[in-house]
Amino acid sequence: MDKNLTMDKLVNLCKSRGFVFQGSEIYGGFANTWDFGPVGVELKNNIKKAWWKRFVQEDPQTFGVDAAILMNPRVWEASGHVQSFSDPQLDCKSCKYRFRADNLIEEKFKDVDVEVMTTEEMQNFIEEHKVKCPHCGNFNWTPVRQFKLMFETSRGTVEGEKDVVYLRPETCQGEYVNFLNVQRTMRAKVPFAIAQIGKSFRNEITPGNFLFRTVEFEQMELQKFCHPKDSMDFYNDYKKRAMDFVCDLGLEKENLRFHDHEKLAHYAKAACDIQYNFPIGWQELNGIHHRGDWDLSRHSEFSGKNMEYLDPFTNEKFLPNVIEYSIGADRLTLAIMSEAYEEEKLENGETRVVMHFKPFLAPFKVAVLPLQKNLSEKAKEVYAVLSKEFMCDYDEAGSIGKRYRRQDEIGTPFCVTIDFDTLEDDTVTVRDRDTMAQERLKIDTIVSYFEKKIKF
Ligand SMILES: [Zn+2]
């Protein structure tokens, strides 16, 4: 990661090069929402593909699903979200800004343990210590209220007959409710895992820091169902696999660390994050949680379906434990972009911005660039061959130097330049993004040349 990188620089690059735009931008935006553009969607898709390949395709004990976002509301009673998924919030009556009461206290009083405080205790604390509004400096608060984090919508077409349903705040419930289906149809033996990539929604007011925290976000996660006696081994195994994965995607070891949770949910046996050193500092990148048998026991209770597993070898009947491994696709995309960014000083005194993505993650693998416009017919032939194999960009506008810089900024690992010699001998110039070295290759060899360099 470049030490000159700030979040503002990254946001500007994303906006100007088509990675990420502000959500609903022409209407002045919409807080904590972002739209991936033509370049960003390729990067994010490649990250998701790499995750799926590593954890589903290459693991015979893991099965994928794609569950519905809208679930039977009973699911959220069983999970505990209906009762307790909320933040304590209060509004400043002077400037109308809204804050989380726990954050307000934590920021001023570092050694106060807000997690054990009730709503009332937070309210009293803020009054006793005259905690002022960080925005306008006044002391003029509404009472502290619990603000629900699940987005509600309703189902039903006849007025007055609507039922409340929720946009899911986490994807993992889609795996728990399909535990029996997957086990039966795939003839799966415990231990096995169910994996999913999908969107979740949380009605949070906390400032987002670009893609770091958004009200809708995509999760890549799996739930490993195992015997309680093996559960700590799988927990440690996924800690290692999770760390290996983000390193293999190009994140530097020195920017990654484990953070073990000291305070655990009442049902949890162990929990940790992997943190990444974002431009905003060390923050959670992904989580590995030992959830005990909480999830399956709750769904057994609320659905009335017995979710115990009968081991065919030992005849033992037990409720599997769950090890959860979860990583945010948007947050990981932000980490990958932060790591890849470099402002490189060149020998001629100029500076170029380069995104050093691993080739398999790069939005475009190859850019096809005719040296001059009257070479575009030949260039389009080459593009037609390459685009059957890879995502390619095509650009014939402006000087070749400017076109190289643009490809550097979106992280394209290879540029193929078509010149007048190409018409004579069917060779092209291939330029490497990182070294800027150029070599001359026969057109009929370039597909296999790129394939070798791009593989994950
Ligand atoms: Zn205020």
Tens-of-pLDDT digits for all 456 residues of the chain? 788 899 999 999 999 999 999 999 999 999 899 999 999 999 999 999 999 999 999 999 999 999 999 999 999 999 999 988 998 999 999 998 989 999 899 888 988 888 888 899 999 999 999 999 999 999 999 999 998 999 999 988 777 777 899 999 999 999 999 999 999 999 999 999 999 999 999 998 776 799 999 999 999 999 999 999 999 999 999 999 999 999 999 999 999 999 999 888 888 999 999 999 999 999 999 999 999 999 999 999 999 999 999 999 999 999 999 999 999 999 999 999 999 999 999 999 999 999 999 999 999 999 999 999 899 999 999 999 999 999 999 999 999 999 999 999 999 999 999 999 999 999 999 999 999 999 999 999 999 999 999 988
Count CB neighbours of 324 within 10 A: 22
The residues, any chain, with a CB within 8 Å of residue 283's CB and separated by 6 or more, are 212, 275, 276
Distance 142 CA to ligand 1 centre (A): 11
Distance 98 CA to ligand 1 centre (A): 8
Task: Kindly list the strands in the beta sheet with 256-260, ordered across the sheet, starting from the edge strand earlier in the chain.
Answer: 62-64, 192-201, 216-226, 321-328, 281-290, 270-278, 256-260
CA distance 222 to 65: 10
Distance 99 CA to ligand 1 centre (A): 10
Distance 145 CA to ligand 1 centre (A): 17
Distance 328 CA to ligand 1 centre (A): 32
- What pLDDT, on the 0 to 100 scale, is given for residue 207? 65
Q: Which residues surround ligand 1, an ion (CB under 5 A)?
A: 92, 94-95, 133, 135-136
Q: Which domains does the chain have, with CATH numbers?
A: 7-81+153-338 (3.30.930.10), 86-148 (3.30.40.230), 364-454 (3.40.50.800)
Distance 213 CA to ligand 1 centre (A): 23
The token pair that represents 55 in the structure block:
């954890």
Distance 89 CA to ligand 1 centre (A): 14
Distance 209 CA to ligand 1 centre (A): 21
Distance 131 CA to ligand 1 centre (A): 11
The token pair that represents 40 in the structure block:
């960003």
Beta bridge partners of 439: 430
CA 68 → CA 119, 198, 220, 223, distances in Å? 34, 9, 15, 17
CA distance 307 to 451: 46
Distance 137 CA to ligand 1 centre (A): 6
Q: Where are the beta strands (DSSP E) in 53-159?
A: 62-64, 86-91, 98-100, 145-148, 152-155
Distance 124 CA to ligand 1 centre (A): 18
- The model's pTM is 0.93
